Copies of this chain bind each other. A is one copy, B any other.
C-alpha cells in the first residue's frame, strides 16, 4: 500500500489541541475545567451582527466573489479609514477565510519551498503549521521573558538574514506573548526589511487590545514608505468575538502581490457569503462595544499578572496587549504538568487547562517550562484558576520530590 505523504505525516498536532481528548475525558468524569488554553473569548459578538443574520434575505446562497463581497470589503475600507489610514481602498484588500488563510496567502505569495521567513520566538504556533504546509523554513529569533519578549538589537536580527530569507513575520500585540512593540521597534523592523529588500508581514489581529499608555503602532503607518514590501494580516475573530465566522483579510499596496493573491483566493472559489454579510456590519458596531471589552481585558490582565506573580517560582512579565500571558513554571516539563492537571489533579473536582509553551517555539526545549494562558474567562473564574494553580504547583512539587 502507498503511504501517506511525508508532509502530512510530519505536520504537527497543535500543542493546544492535542490535550483536548484528555479534557473531554475529565469532563465525562464530571470534572469542571477552566479553559485557559484557547483564544476563544467568552465575550458576546455584537448584536448588530447577530441581527444581520436573522434578517437574511438572499436565496439562493450563491458564490461570493473570490476576493470578498463588495459590502465586506467596503466595511473594511471604512474601518481602516477610521484608524486614520485613508490611503487604503478596497483595491488594497483581499477578503480571506479568517486570519489563517491570510497567513497562508502571504507565505505562498512570497516564498517558494525552501525559502525562509524570520519570526520572533515564541510565536503563534499556526505560523509553524502554515510554514510546513508550504515547505517554508521559519527562522526563529529568540526573545526573552525577562525582557517582556521585546525585540533584540538590530545586529541579532540581521545576523539571521540569508540569501533565502524572503520575509519577516511578526504579531503585535503578540500571540502568545501579549507584547506590543513600540514605535521604535516597528520602525526598526521596517528599516531592516527596507535595507535587505524583504517582505514584512504584520499580524495585527489583536490591534484593539493594547493596555499601554503609548498608542499601538500599526505597520500601516509605514506602509506607504515600503509599499511593495508591507503586508498586513487581519481578522475580525478576536476584535468582534467572531471566531466561528471565518473573516479575515490581507492588505497591501503591492498591485502585483494583490493580483497574485487573488489567484490564490480563486483556487477555493469563494469565502462564506453569510459570514461576509456579518462582517460587513462592522461599521455599525458601537464604539463602546470595543471599549468595554478593552476595559474588561485590562482588568483580567491585571488580575492574572498579579495572581501568577504571587505563585512561588513562577516567572511572568506584564503583557501589554492581546489576551495572553506566557508564564514560566517551576516544573521540569510544563506539558507533563498540563497533562497531570487534566488527568490527575482535582481541587474540589475542578482543574485548569493551559497551552504548553513548547508549541510556540521552533526548538521545543526553549519553551519546555512555559505555558500560555488565555485570560478569556470572567474575573471570578480567573481568580479561582490562580487558586487552583497555586495548590496544584505545590502538590506537583511534592510529587516530584
Contacts and interface: CB of A to CB of B under 8 A. Distances in A.
A152 interface: no
Interface string A1-12: 110111111011
A230 B5 CA distance: 16
Interface band, chain A: 35 or more
A208 interface: no
B17 A66 contact: yes
Given A2-B110, A268-B101, A244 B273 contact: yes
A84 B44 CA distance: 42
Interface in A152-193: 166-167
A297 interface: no
A299 interface: no
A82 B137 CA distance: 46
A350 B271 CA distance: 30
A60 B38 contact: no
Given A5-B111, A9-B260, A244 B50 contact: no
A243 B59 CA distance: 11
A241 interface: yes
Contact of A2 (B45, B199, B246): B199
Given A54-B54, A56-B50, A98-B268, A244 B61 contact: yes
Nearest to A241: B60
A104 to B, nearest CB: 8
Contacts of A40: 62-63
Interface string A119-147: 00000001001100101000000000000
Given A241-B60, A241-B61, A274-B53, A267 B11 contact: yes
Counting every copy of the chain, the complex holds 2
A94 interface: no
Given A112-B5, A274-B53, A11 B100 contact: no
A319 interface: no
B60 A5 contact: no
B112 A6 contact: yes
A79 interface: no
Interface string A285-299: 000000000000000
Contact of A7 (B1, B108, B126): B108
A351 interface: no
A336 interface: no
A59 B45 contact: yes
Interface of A: 1-2, 4-9, 11-14, 17, 38, 40-45, 49-50, 53-56, 59-64, 66, 97-98, 100-101, 104, 108-113, 115, 126, 129-130, 133, 135, 166-167, 197-199, 228-229, 241-246, 256-257, 260-261, 263-264, 266-275, 278
11 contacts: A2-B110, A4-B260, A5-B109, A8-B263, A17-B66, A45-B61, A53-B274, A60-B242, A62-B241, A100-B269, A245-B272
